[in-house]
C-alpha cells in the first residue's frame, strides 16, 4: 500500500474567501474543501486532512506552534505515513517553519505551504502549492532535510527562507542561498541539502521573548521598559555585523545585568553577526557585556530559537551554545 501524507490545515489566505459584508478576505475554507480543490492529488498518494485551526497567520503564536509541532511529530511516528504538509498563512510562515525544523525529531519531511491569492481570486496559487507540497512530502528524497517551505514550485530550507514581497506569489526566497530544489512536472528535484540540522526539544517553552528592531539614534527606552516588565529574553535586530547605537547598547547591558538573555542579530539579509568592531555599541563590546551572538538567522527566527532554548535552560553559557550554528 502507498504511504500517505497527512495535511494539517492552520488557515491563512489559502483558506480564505472575499466576504462582501466586511469587504475583505476572511477564513472560510475547510480542510477537506482545500484538498477537494486539488484533484491531481489522487494520482500522488493517499492524503489525510487534519484540521488544526483556521486562523490568519498573524494570529499564530509560539504556543500554537508547539501544539502543532507535537501533533505533526505524532503523525510522523504513525506507520504508513511518508510525511506531513502544513498549510499556513504566509505572514508568519517562516516562524512556524523554523519552529517545526528545530523541534520535530523525525527524518520524515514536513512541508509548509501557503497561498498569496485566496481561493476566489484569479489564478489562485493555493491548489498548485498544495499539490507540490504533498509531492515533496511523499518523496523519499525529502527525508532528512528538516522542515521545508514549498511554494511556487520551489523547495526552501526553513532555516534560510523568508517572505520577501507583500503581494507577489513569488514571495518566498532564501537570500544568498536559493532554493534547495524544485517540484517539476514529473519529479521532485533536490540540488543541495541543509547541513547539520539543529534540534531543541523542550517539554515546555517560554514565550515571554521580545524583539526590538533598532534604528539610527535608537536609545535604551524600549530595553528599560522590557527590564521593568521582567521579560524572559530579548532579541535585538542590529545593523551590519550586529553593531548598535550607544544608547541601545546601554539598554542591552542593563537587560543582561538584570539577568535577561539578549541575542543580537542583523537587519542584513545575509551574513553572520561577529565581533569585528570594538567601538561603543560594536559587537566586541557587546560580547564583553554578555550579549549572545545570534549567528546567521534573522531576528524573528532567533526569537523562535530563544523561546525553544529557554525551555531547556536559563544558563547563559548553555543558551549561547544553541546559537551561531550552521
* Residues with catalytic roles: 13
Looking at 9, 13, 96, 174, which residue binds ligand ASP (CB under 6 A)?
13
Task: Answer yes or no whether residue 150 interacts with ligand ASP by CB under 6 A.
Answer: no
- Per-residue contact flags (x/-) with ligand ASP for residues 76 to 115, judged by CB under 6 A: -------------xxx----------------------x-
Residue number of the CB atom closest to ligand ASP: 89
Listed residue (326, 292, 296) closest to 309, CA to CA: 292
Task: Answer yes or no whether residue 174 interacts with ligand ASP by CB under 6 A.
Answer: no
Q: Parallel, antiparallel, or unpaired for β 172-173 and 81-87?
A: unpaired
Listed residue (287, 289, 288) closest to 323, CA to CA: 287
59 φ, ψ (degrees, to nearest 5) = -90, -5
Least distance from ligand ASP to the Cβ atom of residue 30, Å: 16
Task: Answer yes or no whether residue 155 interacts with ligand ASP by CB under 6 A.
Answer: no
Task: Answer yes or no whether residue 27 interacts with ligand ASP by CB under 6 A.
Answer: no
Beta partners for residue 212, in sequence order: 236
How many residues of this chain interact with ligand ASP, rule: CB under 6 A? Answer: 9
Looking at 54, 57, 87, 266, which residue binds ligand ASP (CB under 6 A)?
57
* Lookup: cell for 289: 557585556
Q: Which is nearer to ligand ASP, 114 or 236 (CB)?
A: 114
Least distance from ligand ASP to the Cβ atom of residue 124, Å: 11
- 188-227 burial code (b ≥16 CB/10 A, e <16): bebeeebeebeebeeeebbbebbbbebeeebebebbeebb
Task: Answer yes or no whether residue 121 interacts with ligand ASP by CB under 6 A.
Answer: no
* Count of beta carbons in the 10 Å neighbourhood of residue 257: 11
Q: Which is nearer to ligand ASP, 90 or 298 (CB)?
A: 90
Q: Which is nearer to ligand ASP, 167 or 185 (CB)?
A: 167
Q: Which is nearer to ligand ASP, 90 or 232 (CB)?
A: 90
Task: Answer yes or no whether residue 281 interacts with ligand ASP by CB under 6 A.
Answer: no
Q: Which is nearer to ligand ASP, 117 or 208 (CB)?
A: 117
Q: Is 110 buried (19+), middle (13-18) or exposed (0-12) by CB count in 10 A?
A: buried
Q: Parallel, antiparallel, or unpaired for β 47-51 and 147-151?
A: unpaired
Least distance from ligand ASP to the Cβ atom of residue 90, Å: 3
Rounded Cα distance between 83 and 170, Å, is 24
52 φ, ψ (degrees, to nearest 5) = -90, -45
Looking at 66, 116, 155, 235, which residue binds ligand ASP (CB under 6 A)?
116
Least distance from ligand ASP to the Cβ atom of residue 113, Å: 10
Listed residue (198, 107, 204, 109) closest to 156, CA to CA: 109
Looking at 9, 34, 47, 56, which residue binds ligand ASP (CB under 6 A)?
56
Q: Parallel, antiparallel, or unpaired for β 233-238 and 147-151?
A: unpaired
Least distance from ligand ASP to the Cβ atom of residue 175, Å: 19
* CA-based end-to-end distance of the chain: 38
Contacting positions for ligand ASP (CB under 6 A): 12-13, 56-57, 89-91, 114, 116
Amino acid at each position: 500500500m502507498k504511504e500517505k501524507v497527512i495535511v494539517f490545515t492552520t488557515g491563512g489566505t489559502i483558506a480564505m474567501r472575499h466576504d462582501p459584508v466586511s469587504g475583505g478576505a476572511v477564513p472560510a475554507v475547510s480542510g477537506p474543501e482545500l484538498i477537494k480543490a486539488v484533484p491531481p492529488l489522487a494520482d500522488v498518494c493517499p492524503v489525510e486532512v487534519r484540521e488544526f485551526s483556521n486562523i490568519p497567520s498573524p494570529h499564530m503564536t509560539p504556543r500554537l506552534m508547539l501544539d502543532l509541532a507535537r501533533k505533526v511529530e505524532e503523525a510522523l511516528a504513525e506507520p504508513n505515513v511518508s510525511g506531513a504538509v502544513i498549510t499556513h498563512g504566509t505572514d508568519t510562515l517562516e516562524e512556524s517553519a523554523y519552529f517545526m525544523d528545530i523541534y520535530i525529531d523525525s527524518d520524515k519531511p514536513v512541508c509548509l505551504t501557503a497561498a498569496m491569492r485566496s481561493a476566489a481570486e484569479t489564478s489562485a496559487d493555493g491548489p498548485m502549492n498544495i499539490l507540490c507540497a504533498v509531492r515533496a512530502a511523499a518523496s523519499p528524497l525529502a527525508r532528512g532535510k528538516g522542515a521545508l517551505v514549498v511554494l511556487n514550485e520551489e523547495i526552501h530550507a526553513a532555516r534560510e527562507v523568508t517572505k520577501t514581497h507583500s503581494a507577489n506569489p513569488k514571495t518566498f526566497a532564501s537570500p544568498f542561498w536559493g532554493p534547495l530544489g524544485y517540484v517539476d512536472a514529473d519529479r521532485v528535484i533536490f540540488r543541495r541539502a541543509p547541513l547539520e540540522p539543529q534540534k531543541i526539544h523542550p517539554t515546555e517553552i517560554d514565550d515571554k521573548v521580545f524583539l526590538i528592531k533598532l534604528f539610527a539614534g535608537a536609545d535604551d527606552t524600549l530595553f528599560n521598559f522590557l527590564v521593568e516588565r521582567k521579560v524572559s529574553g530579548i532579541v535585538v535586530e542590529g545593523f551590519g555585523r550586529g553593531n548598535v547605537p550607544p544608547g541601545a547598547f546601554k539598554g542591552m547591558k542593563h537587560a543582561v545585568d538584570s539577568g535577561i538573555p539578549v541575542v543580537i542579530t542583523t537587519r542584513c539579509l545575509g551574513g553572520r553577526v561577529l565581533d569585528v568592531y570594538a567601538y561603543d555599541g560594536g559587537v566586541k563590546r557587546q560580547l564583553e557585556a554578555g550579549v549572545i551572538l545570534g549567528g546567521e538567522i534573522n531576528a524573528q527566527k532567533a526569537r523562535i530559537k530563544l523561546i525553544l532554548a529557554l525551555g531547556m535552560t536559563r544558563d547563559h553559557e548553555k543558551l549561547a551554545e544553541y546559537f551561531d550554528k550552521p
